[in-house]
Amino acid sequence: MPFGYVSPAQAMRDKAEYARQGIGRGRSCVTLQYEGGILLMAPNPSSALHKISEIYDRIAFAAVGRYNEYENLRKAGITYADITGYQFDRSDVTARGIANYYAQNLGTIFTENLKPFEVEIVVAEVGAQPESDQIYRITFDGSVTDEPGFVAFGGQADQVSAALKEHYSPGMSLSEAFAAALAALSATGNGERNDVAATQLEVAILERDREHRAFRRIRAARLAELISESRPATADDAAADPAAGSPAPVTPPDSGPATGPAAGGTDRGSGVGGAGDGGPLL
């Protein structure tokens, strides 16, 4: 046996453990269906490095892990979607096709490269009806799973998923879905709650009834409004103490609608970074 020999099975186990540790240091992201579409939410203190983005007309991308790696994957997915839509038809661009594209690339990288990508990805597509919505989870080794209803991934995904399962139910409104996602992301392993501030949240939706481009971000006044509406559902202490009563609603400075890309514009920009060996874990 040559000195320093490592069996292929052991090498794969080492690479898988390395990737899991990197992804586990990131912050969990949740994606769930609601009555009017699909909600995507992630804690993200950075205003420049997005974890949630638009891929195509009715398809969104969310990721956890090393930013420069999943940003390269995001841009490659946009290129794949644009070329497919141009060569064939826009209806031929689907979340399933993009998920399979990512799976092939991540599987090749995991098998052939010394260092695997420390990323976990979700590709979501909103359909004309709730039963036609699609949510796919792609892991660092190229495995793809179809996630009906909701999914939590990255970071402490098991804890977040368990909390989300308690709060989720089909046919929820946007406010109810937001409250469920916020409660799941705020839950910790010992039963206590770690509230997430509005400035540390990145939130987007795929809106079912929106023509052509369904993706839009929720920012500023609309985000503050949703957080204030979700507080009664997430404030366990207030519910346990009748004398405390419900918290006073927060009046947002601007009651305008959720913001999103301007008509004719795009939210699929190239982003920043993505070239170095390092990069933050988000």
Q: What residue type is assigned to position 92 of the chain?
A: D
Residue with tokens 């209803």: 149
Q: How far is CA 209 from CA 35, 98, 215, in A?
A: 11, 23, 11
What distance, in Å, lies between the first and last C-alpha atoms of the chain? Answer: 42
Q: What is the CA radius of gyration of the chain?
A: 20
Residue with tokens 């503050």: 224
Q: pLDDT at position 232, please?
A: 60
Task: Give the CA count within 13 Å in the CB-facing half-sphere of 162.
Answer: 8
Mean pLDDT is lowest, of 14-28, 44-58, 248-262, for 248-262
Q: Kindly tell me if the per-residue pLDDT of 257 is higher than 70.
A: no
Residue with tokens 């874990």: 281
The two most distant CA atoms of the chain are separated, in Å, by 74
Q: Kindly tell me if the per-residue pLDDT of 111 is higher than 60.
A: yes
Residues 160-174 pLDDT 10s: 999 999 999 999 999
Task: Please count the other Cβ atoms lying within 10 Å of the Cβ belonging to residue 13.
Answer: 12
What mean pLDDT value characterizes the chain?
A: 84
Q: pLDDT at position 197, please?
A: 72
DSSP codes, 11-44: HHHHHHHHHHHHHHTS--EEEEEETTEEEEEEE-
Q: pLDDT at position 189, please?
A: 56
Question: What 3-state DSSP class applies to 223?
Answer: helix
Model confidence, pTM: 0.82
Q: pLDDT at position 76, please?
A: 97
Residues 195-232 pLDDT 10s: 677 778 999 999 999 988 999 999 888 898 898 887 76
Distance CA 141, CA 264 (A): 37
- The encoded tokens of residue 173 equal 């409104």
Task: Give the CA count within 13 Å in the CB-facing half-sphere of 40.
Answer: 30
Q: pLDDT at position 280, please?
A: 83
CB-based contact 122:29 (threshold 8 Å): yes
Strand partners, 63: 121
Q: pLDDT at position 239, please?
A: 47
- Helix 220-234, helix 174-186: angle, nearest 10: 70
Of 13, 2, 41, 15, give the one whose Cα is nearest residue 196: 41
Q: pLDDT at position 254, please?
A: 42
- The encoded tokens of residue 79 equal 């290129």
Task: Write out the H or E segment, with its range, that includes residue 123.
Answer: strand 119-125
Q: pLDDT at position 269, please?
A: 58
Residue with tokens 């918290």: 247
DSSP state of 72: H
